[in-house]
Structure 1
Amino acid sequence: MQDPNADTEWNDILRKKGIIPPKEVPKEDEEEEEGILMQQSVVKTYEDMTLEELEENEDEFNEEDERAIEMYRRQRLAQWQASQIKNTFGEVLEISGQDYVQEVTKAGKDLWVILHLYKQGIPLCSLINQHLAILARKFKDVKFIKAISTTCIPNYPDKNLPTIFVYQGGEIRAQFIGPLVFGGMKLTQDELEWKLSESGAIKTDLEENPRQQIQDQLMTSIRSSIATKKDTDSDED
Structure 2
Amino acid sequence: MNPDEDTEWNDILRKHGILPQQVKVTQNDIYDSAVAQAQEEESRRLEKLDLDELAELEDEEDEQVLELYRRQRLAEMQAQASKEKYGELVHISEPDYKKEVTEASKNAWIVVHLFRDSIPECKLMNRLLGELAQQYRATKFAKIISVECIHNYPDSNLPTLLVYGRGDMQSQLVRLDRFGGMRTTRRDIESYLRDVGAVDPTMRRALAGEDGDSDDGSDDGRATYVDLGRRVG
TM-score (norm 1): 0.53
Matched residue, 2:170: 173
- Offset of residue 207 of structure 1: 4.5
Which aligned pairs between 1:187-226 and structure 2 lie closer than 5 A?
Answer: 187-204=184-201, 206-209=214-217
If each structure's helix is expressed as a fraction of its own residues, which one has the higher value? 1
Residues 172 and 188 of structure 1: CA distance in aligned 2, closer, same or farther (over 3 Å): same
Cα distance between partner residues in 2 of 1:181 and 1:107? 29
* Equivalent position SS for 2:99: helix
Matched residue, 2:146: 149
Cα distance between partner residues in 2 of 1:81 and 1:173? 28
How many aligned residue pairs are there? 150
Task: Report the residue type matching 2:154 in the other structure.
Answer: P
Cα distance between partner residues in 1 of 2:194 and 2:123? 21
Which aligned pairs between 1:49-198 and structure 2 lie closer than 5 A?
Answer: 82-198=79-195
* Equivalent position SS for 2:86: coil
Cα-to-partner distance string for 1:61-93 (whole Å, 9 max, x where unaligned): xxxxxxxxxxxxxxxx9x798545322110001
* Equivalent position SS for 1:106: helix
Cα-to-partner distance string for 1:162-199 (whole Å, 9 max, x where unaligned): 00011112211111012324420000111111111111
- Offset of residue 159 of structure 1: 0.7
CA contact (8 A) 1:106 1:169 kept: no
Which aligned pairs between 1:217-236 and structure 2 lie closer than 5 A?
Answer: none
- Offset of residue 108 of structure 1: 4.6
CA contact (8 A) 1:197 1:203 kept: yes
Stretches of 4+ moved more than 3 A in 1? 79-85, 204-208
Root mean square deviation, CA, Å: 3.6
Matched residue, 2:206: none
CA contact (8 A) 1:142 1:201 kept: yes
Residues 104 and 85 of structure 1: CA distance in aligned 2, closer, same or farther (over 3 Å): farther
Residues 108 and 186 of structure 1: CA distance in aligned 2, closer, same or farther (over 3 Å): closer
Matched residue, 1:74: none
> With CA pairs under 8 Å and 6+ residues apart, which has the higher RCO, 1 or 2?
2
* Equivalent position SS for 1:116: strand
* Equivalent position SS for 2:104: coil
Identity percentage of aligned residues:
38
Larger CA Rg, structure 1 vs 2: 1
Cα distance between partner residues in 2 of 1:82 and 1:105? 23
CA contact (8 A) 1:194 1:204 kept: no
- Offset of residue 208 of structure 1: 4.1
